[in-house]
């Protein structure tokens, strides 16, 4: 029997696969298609204190083997997420990782404190890496001192373990990872999207209304793998890896690079059944590669 | 129910300039409930292009488990789609969204379409006629070369064609035809460019109308929040074209 289980701070996962935040809403759309209890966990859409309408359209643009998005953290706000979305998800046997966003430290603290008390929220993912909002987001994730202090502030109020979601839009991602480790983070999730642009060739105008957007999809997998590899080498924090995962071999690669679990993002838009499909294929693929458990694979590239 | 299926291409042909008619077969066809719903197609098994393409359904044949789509091949995705041949398999997700409510029409309905917004009106016209509703079709195209399904619509009711360059039918837009027609209908249904939808709403503020909107989409099922529009129903929320629409009652979408 292949062992797919993964134990991480706050998270006893039946398998290492979870949909990434922002690519799965609050689960309702995908619940029409399959039983969400199959998933290792669910990273729900970023939640802010107040309702956020997000950015004007167009918000997405396709690129070579990828896509740009600039949704801008549209969400119904803390009250509705805690009062409606999370209770609805309680019908499924799946731990929720709540993605927390804000424009000030106080925002992050307020959301983190309240949302971490929901019974099915087993961990927080602190979004210091959203590239699509003018205030907050990425500004917390590009300076190690700011990232460390925010981590401390959130850790103080959270009732569940805290994972910090790192931005790839930095020169030295290891320094940010080390800073959040010093700040008391329980884990890291990485990577968020890479800042990018697409032009309308005829008019010369950017296609995304926000001018820039975050690049995701298979195009970014090599960057994500490199960063997971570097961060896992230099910190002791467990990593939930993501960036361009579309199939079971991508999952194997992220585990090998040092991730303990893997999130699937954009691929959910291409194949809405991608998460359960990967979970179904994982035992056989592990067996073919000569492994009995997911845990054996974690960080194997560092041991070769 | 939404299904994902590798459906078999039965037939594909170019029926007007860059306009393709594609018929597929499979169990998914039996899930089709309303005219105006759409399907989301993966045009390649690779990740280039990455995203699915939303395509509207022009007619449904439940007995044969088939449906027919009409689309314009204008970009990379639809270009690849236009190369599919009978026997090929196509990864299709659907049916998606909310279509036109046929039960809303009482006696007579106007069906107003522009360009690639015309296809879903054909299945709508068929279903309305089956219910004994008289349908009048007002269809706008760029030019004579771009006109399709004129005869098929004519079989179902009065049909008026406008072309922008005047090479066929009335010169101008559908609104030029509407100005000349009596307002003796109870319900209108419309699909086409946003400017046309706006003009149609302006023309008939007192009538019951249903409009099908277009927006750049990501997932097609409501999860990615790409295809949002402002709405008159709420100042604090958007509506999603893919899952709340694409068909909305007149007056709901702020475009």
**A140-193 confidence digits (pLDDT tens):** 889 999 999 999 999 999 999 999 999 999 999 999 999 999 999 999 999 999
Counted across chains A and B, CB pairs separated by less than 8 A come out at: 98
Chain A closest-CA separation from residue B214 CA (Å): 12
The answer to whether residues B109 and B206 belong to one domain is yes
Rounded CA gap, A124 and A142, in Å? 20
Q: A257: part of which helix (H) or strand (E)?
A: helix A248-257
The answer to whether residues B107 and B208 belong to one domain is yes
Q: How confident is the model at residue A134 (pLDDT cuts 50, 70, 90)?
A: low
Mean per-residue pLDDT of chain B:
95
The answer to whether residues B30 and B107 belong to one domain is no
**Record: contact B216-A58, CB cut-off 8 A:** yes
Q: What is the pLDDT of residue B173?
A: 95
The answer to whether residues B122 and B169 belong to one domain is yes
Q: What is the pLDDT of residue B187?
A: 97
Q: What is the pLDDT of residue B234?
A: 81
Q: What is the pLDDT of residue B85?
A: 97
Residue B236 lies in a domain: no
- ipTM associated with this complex: 0.91
- Within 8 A by CB and 6+ apart from A156, the residues are A109
CATH number for position B204: 3.40.50.80
Is A275 a catalytic site residue?
no
A241 is in an annotated binding site: no
Which CATH fold topology does A6-302 show?
A: TIM Barrel (3.20.20)
Residue B236 has pLDDT above 80, yes or no: no
Residue A285 has pLDDT above 90, yes or no: yes
Residues of A in contact with B236 (CB under 8 A): 51, 53
Q: What percent of chain B has pLDDT over 90?
A: 91
Rounded CA gap, B138 and B180, in Å? 11
Q: How confident is the model at residue A135 (pLDDT cuts 50, 70, 90)?
A: low
**Record: contact A269-B215, CB cut-off 8 A:** no
Last residue of a domain, one of B96, B130, B150: B96
> Which of A51, A57, A66 lies at the smallest CB-CB distance from B236?
A51
Give mean pLDDT, residues A260-268: 98
> Which of B49, B93, B223 lies at the smallest CB-CB distance from A25?
B223
Into how many domains does chain B fold?
2
And the tokens for A93?
A: 């046997």
Interface of B with A (CB under 8 A): 1-2, 4, 42, 47-52, 93, 215-229, 236-238, 243
**Record: contact A25-B50, CB cut-off 8 A:** no
Residues of A in contact with B237 (CB under 8 A): 51, 53, 76
Q: What is the pLDDT of residue B237?
A: 81
Task: Check if the beta carbon of residue B128 is closer than 8 Å to that of residue B105.
Answer: yes
The answer to whether residues B77 and B156 belong to one domain is no
Domain hosting B111: range is: 102-212
A233 is in an annotated binding site: no
Q: What is the pLDDT of residue B36?
A: 97
Chain B closest-CA separation from residue A212 CA (Å): 15
Task: Check if the beta carbon of residue A39 is closer than 8 Å to that of residue A292.
Answer: no
Q: How confident is the model at residue B128 (pLDDT cuts 50, 70, 90)?
A: very high
Residue with tokens 């993605």: A99
The answer to whether residues B16 and B85 belong to one domain is yes
3-state secondary structure chain B: CCEEEEEEEEEEEEEECCEEEEEEECHHHHHCCCCCCEEEEECCCCCCCCCCEEEEEEEEECCCCEEEEEEECCCHHHHHHCCCCCCCEEEEEEEECECCCHHHCCCEEEEEEEHHHCHHHHHHHHHHHHCCCEEEEEEEECCHHHCCCHHHHHHHCCEEEEECCCCCCEECCHHHHHHHCCCCCCEEEEECCHHHHHHHHHHCCCCEEEEECCCCCCCCCCCCCCCEEEECCEEEEEEECCCCCEEEECCCEEC
Q: What is the pLDDT of residue B216?
A: 87
Chain B closest-CA separation from residue A55 CA (Å): 10
Q: What is the pLDDT of residue A140?
A: 87
Strand partners, B89: B8
Q: Which of A129-138, A152-161, B66-75 has the lowest mean pLDDT?
A: A129-138
The answer to whether residues B122 and B180 belong to one domain is yes
Chain B closest-CA separation from residue A296 CA (Å): 30
> Which of B2, B224, B237 lies at the smallest CB-CB distance from A269?
B224
Q: What is the pLDDT of residue A188?
A: 98
Q: What is the pLDDT of residue A137?
A: 66
The answer to whether residues B92 and B119 belong to one domain is no
């Amino acid at each position: 029997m292949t062992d797919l289980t993964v134990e991480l701070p706050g998270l006893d996962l039946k398998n290492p696969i979870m949909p990434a935040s922002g690519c799965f809403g609050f689960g309702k759309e995908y619940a029409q298609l399959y039983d969400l209890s199959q998933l290792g966990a669910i990273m729900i859409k970023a939640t802010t204190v107040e309702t956020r309408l997000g950015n004007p359209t167009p918000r997405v643009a396709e690129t070579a083997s990828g896509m740009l998005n600039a949704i801008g953290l549209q969400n119904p706000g803390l009250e509705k997420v805690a009062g409606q979305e999370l209770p609805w998800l309680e019908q499924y046997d799946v731990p929720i990782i709540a993605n927390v966003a804000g424009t000030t430290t106080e925002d992050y603290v307020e959301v983190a404190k309240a949302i971490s008390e929901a019974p099915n929220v087993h961990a927080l993912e602190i979004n210091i890496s959203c590239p699509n909002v003018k205030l907050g987001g990425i500004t917390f994730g590009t300076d190690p001192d700011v990232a460390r202090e925010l981590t401390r502030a959130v850790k103080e109020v959270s009732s569940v373990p805290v994972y910090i979601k790192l931005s790839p839009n930095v020169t030295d991602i290891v320094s940010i990872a080390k800073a959040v480790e010093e700040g008391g983070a329980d884990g890291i999730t990485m990577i968020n999207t890479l800042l990018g642009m697409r032009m309308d060739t005829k008019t010369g105008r950017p296609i995304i209304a926000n001018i820039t957007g975050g690049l995701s999809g298979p195009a970014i997998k090599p960057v994500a793998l490199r960063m997971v590899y570097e961060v896992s080498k230099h910190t002791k924090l467990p990593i939930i890896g993501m960036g361009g995962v579309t199939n079971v071999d991508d999952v194997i690669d992220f585990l090998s690079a040092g991730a303990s679990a893997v999130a699937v993002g954009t691929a959910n838009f291409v194949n809405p059944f991608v998460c359960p499909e990967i979970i179904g294929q994982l035992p056989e693929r592990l067996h073919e590669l000569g492994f009995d458990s997911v845990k054996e694979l974690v960080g194997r590239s560092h041991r070769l | 129910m939404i299904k994902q299926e590798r459906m078999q291409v039965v037939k594909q042909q170019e029926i007007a300039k860059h306009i393709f008619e594609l018929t597929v077969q499979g169990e998914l066809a039996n899930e089709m409930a309303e005219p105006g719903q759409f399907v989301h197609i993966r045009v390649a098994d690779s990740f280039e292009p990455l995203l699915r393409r939303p395509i509207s359904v022009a007619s449904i044949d439940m007995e044969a488990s088939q449906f027919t789509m009409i689309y314009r091949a204008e970009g990379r995705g639809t270009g690849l789609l236009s190369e599919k041949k009978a026997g090929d398999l196509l990864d299709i997700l659907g049916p998606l969204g909310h279509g036109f409510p046929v039960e809303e029409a009482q006696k007579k309905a106007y069906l107003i379409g522009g360009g690639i917004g015309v296809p879903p009106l054909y299945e709508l016209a068929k279903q309305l006629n089956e219910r004994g509703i008289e349908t009048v079709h007002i269809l706008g195209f760029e030019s004579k070369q771009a006109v399709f399904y004129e005869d098929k619509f004519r079989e179902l009711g009065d049909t008026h064609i406008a072309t922008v360059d005047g090479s066929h039918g009335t010169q101008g837009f559908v609104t030029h035809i509407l100005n000349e027609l009596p307002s003796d209908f109870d319900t209108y249904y419309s699909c086409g460019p946003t400017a046309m939808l706006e003009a149609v709403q302006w023309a008939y503020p007192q009538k019951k109308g249903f409009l099908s909107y277009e927006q750049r989409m990501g997932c097609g099922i409501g999860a990615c929040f790409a295809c949002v529009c402002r709405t008159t129903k709420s100042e604090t929320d958007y509506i999603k074209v893919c899952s709340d629409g694409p068909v909305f009652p007149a007056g709901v979408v702020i475009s």
